[in-house]
Chain A
Amino acid sequence: MKKVELIGVSKSYDKKTEVISDITVSIEPGEFFVLVGPSGCGKSTMLRMIAGLEEITGGVLKIGDVESNWLPPSKRDISMVFQNYALYPHLTVEENIVFGLHVKKVPKPERKKRCEDVAEMLGLTPYLKRKPRELSGGQRQRVALARAIVNQAPICLMDEPLSNLDAKLRAHMRSEIRQIQRRLGITMIYVTHDQVEAMTMGDRIMILHDGKIQQIGQPIDIYNNPANPFVATFIGSPPMNIGEGKVGSAKNEIVFSEEAKIAVPEKDWPLLKSDTIIIGVRPEHLKAATKETKAEDKVYVKTTNVEVLGNETIFSFDMGGREWMAKWTGQWRIDVGDMVPIVINYDSLCLFDSETEKIIKTPSDIENHVFDKEVFI
């Protein structure tokens, strides 16, 4: 249960270009912190810098209020789970688990007890005498996890630990890791490229792109208020629809194709300063037009692909040269090529400044169906 603080941390291999620049974040004790971003964004490098496997070329890293830039990995009170598990192939599961304890000179009875406890917790007891190669992927993953938690380090780092597992096992391990983290109160720093993992596991998540922080916050806040179009399209599945909009000459409407215009209410007119604007709308916020819908609000779109997923229907269509998607609940009998009337509601739009790409308006109506506990009887 230690705090990890990064202050202006940066990394450069050739002293010219920075692969990670100016990262400032404070990870609270006992927090589940997720680093997420597309591959090559520097998230693994950042984790390895915290672990001490990679040199920090600028800024300060503090672990539990101690400056740790130059501490060796073993002195940083961390444990780490690697993507390919890094189990020692010549040792049995039991020896693998207690390997670190052996190095730290924990007495033998204590070692055995801790190993048994951890094995019990992760359901590894029947496999303690086996070699890693005799285990399935999921079991190996558990051994790696056991090895990380057995030495009771206050901070645990995980580098895409679930990416080698199949989808079903991944979902299972996701909740298992989360539960163990809560039970032991470890400060967890977790790297993933999977936005679902980030959304479901993190207390807070940090989105990285090209070595820069895009946004830090609680998953739901990020979903509702994405800081820029990159975050908007990265978080959420299917991604948020993004389009270029022109601001009408009277500065009171946004035009983003010949047939689609949206009137802007008077209070938001000051937001429309430039001629163009980036608009974003979540697929679930695009609604089907009904009989009551006024003709000028209807937008007819031609579907290019339809996916029916049992309880929801996702269809894509072309909007101003980009592929957009809409997600409706229920099973809609739509065929490819059908003209579908949809409604784009101004209240559910995100608006981004076209130059700085900063968000200037978040969806205000929130059809997200936020419920509080009071609704329970």
Chain B
Amino acid sequence: MMMSTPKKILFYILLVISAFLVFFPVMYAFMISFMSGGEILQGKFFPESIHFDNYVKVFDRLPLMNYLINSFVVSFGVMLGQLVVCSLAAYAFVFIPFKGRDFIFFLFISTMMIPWEATMIPNFFTIQKLDWMNTYQGLTVPFFALAFGTFLLRQHFKTIPKELHEAAEVAGLGKFAFFWRVILPVSKTSLVTLGAYGFLTTWNMYLWPLLVTSTDQVRTVQIGLKQLQSQEVATEWGVVMAGVIVVIIPTLLLLFAGQRQLQKGLTQGALK
């Protein structure tokens, strides 16, 4: 888009201001993570010197590495589970004709209107009865079936020309082979989007891990951060923020990696 120079300058100033507003809390947290207690109380923005005491302390005080691994396993597990379940469900909704398909789909979608918190108690009882407390499956399995993900993938699958399906049928490709060898590679973009979404939401989940974990064994990192705050009478904010920064890093990495993949997917373009 062509823009005149003054207009451009104005736009950039506005963009910088809003970027600063949005990013300020993260930046402040980053700065605090290098400060000592005294400096924080003085309300400084820039630390006097960069030292990593807080980072050492946070790994000392908590089994943070353990929590990080747990979080990673849980998030990755949910991501994979969601991809498998949602893509299979979406495939059925698009490519396998059966009676009442649309009705079932809308029923399925309507579950999006039920807040997740409302289903938490029945879910909790189920997990308890299965004796899945303090296990990875207890943390992951309830999130595999995702109405939003099924919807997202169904919409994408619907854009795949039906001639591809027919060509595969003529070639003698089975239903699963068609799903595996044609649908999945063609929908890489949507799968990456859904995967990133699933990973991040699970990574940031707080309430459910709090409910189903009572020991350090499978506890996730978000609970760990909360523990940092309540352990001391006066919270050492420097340590907490160091923890926060450590927790943010995987998210950022994933975002960067995912974005590159996303852009690649988008520029590939549709094929007529």
Q: Is B268 an interface residue (CB 8 A)?
A: yes
Q: Is the CB of A86 within 8 A of B185?
A: no
Q: Is A59 an interface residue (CB 8 A)?
A: no
**Which residues of chain A are within 8 angstroms of B170 by Cβ–Cβ distance?**
51-53, 73-74, 78-80, 100
For the side of the interface on B, what is the size category?
20 to 34
**Which residues of chain A are within 8 angstroms of B186 by Cβ–Cβ distance?**
88-90
SS class of chain B's interface: helix, strand, loop or mixed? helix
**Which residues of chain A are within 8 angstroms of B169 by Cβ–Cβ distance?**
52-53, 72-74
Give residues of chain A (32-75) contacting chain B, Cβ–Cβ below 8 Å.
51-53, 72-75
Complex CA gap A51/B172 in Å reads 12
Contact of B173 among A75, A103, A133 (CB under 8 A): A103
**Which residues of chain A are within 8 angstroms of B177 by Cβ–Cβ distance?**
103
Q: Is the CB of B172 within 8 A of A86?
A: no
Give residues of chain B (162-210) contacting chain A, Cβ–Cβ below 8 Å.
163-164, 166-167, 169-173, 177, 182, 185-186, 188
**Which residues of chain B are within 8 angstroms of A151 by Cβ–Cβ distance?**
171
From residue A369, how far is it (CB to closest CB) to chain B in Å? 43
A53-B166, A89-B186 given; A84·B272 CB < 8 A = yes
A90-B185, A103-B177 given; A84·B161 CB < 8 A = yes
Residue of B nearest to A91 (CB): B185
Q: Is A183 an interface residue (CB 8 A)?
A: no
**Which residues of chain B are within 8 angstroms of A83 by Cβ–Cβ distance?**
163
**Which residues of chain A are within 8 angstroms of B272 by Cβ–Cβ distance?**
84
Q: Is the CB of B172 within 8 A of A100?
A: yes
Q: Is the CB of B166 within 8 A of A80?
A: yes
Complex CA gap A85/B163 in Å reads 8
**Which residues of chain B are within 8 angstroms of A90 by Cβ–Cβ distance?**
182, 185-186, 188
From residue B270, how far is it (CB to closest CB) to chain A in Å? 8
Q: Is B269 an interface residue (CB 8 A)?
A: yes
Q: Is the CB of A82 within 8 A of B172?
A: no
Give residues of chain A (134-188) contacting chain B, Cβ–Cβ below 8 Å.
151
Q: Is the CB of A88 within 8 A of B171?
A: no
**Which residues of chain A are within 8 angstroms of B173 by Cβ–Cβ distance?**
74, 103
Q: Is the CB of A104 within 8 A of B163?
A: no
- Proximity bits, A88-109, B CB within 8 Å = 1, else 0: 1110000000011001100000
Q: Is A202 an interface residue (CB 8 A)?
A: no
Q: Is B113 an interface residue (CB 8 A)?
A: no
Q: Is the CB of B171 within 8 A of A103?
A: yes
Q: Taking beta carbons and an 8 Å cutoff, which residues of B are in contact with A?
A: 161, 163-164, 166-167, 169-173, 177, 182, 185-186, 188, 268-272
Q: Taking beta carbons and an 8 Å cutoff, which residues of A are in contact with B?
A: 51-53, 72-75, 78-80, 82-90, 99-100, 103-104, 132-133, 151
Seed contacts A78-B170, A89-B186, A103-B177; 7 additional CB < 8 Å A-B pairs: A86-B163, A88-B186, A100-B172, A103-B171, A104-B172, A132-B271, A133-B271
Question: 10 closest Cβ contacts across the A-B interface?
Answer: A74-B172, A86-B163, A100-B171, A89-B271, A90-B185, A86-B167, A82-B163, A73-B170, A73-B169, A80-B170
